[in-house]
Amino acid sequence: MIEVAVKLLQKNNYKITKQRLSLLEYLSHFQEQYINVVAVDKYMHSIYPGMSHNTIYRNIKEFEEVGIVEQRTKDGNASVKYQCDFIHQHHHHFICKHCGKVQEVEMCPLDYFEQQLPGCRIDEHHFELYGLCADCIKLSKDQPD
Q: Which residues carry a binding-site annotation?
A: 90, 96, 99, 125, 133, 136
Q: Computed from CA positions of residues 129, 133, 134, 139, in that sequence, does the dihedral angle turn out positive or negative?
A: negative
Amino acid letter for position 90: H
Number of H helices, E strands in the chain: 6, 6
Residue numbers in the known binding site for Fe cation are 90, 125
3-state secondary structure of 49: coil
Binding residues for Zn(2+) are: 96, 99, 133, 136
Contact 129, 95 (CB under 8 A): yes
The backbone torsions φ and ψ at residue 136, rounded to the nearest 5 degrees and listed phi first, read -70, -35
- The amino acid present at 65, given as its one-letter code, is E
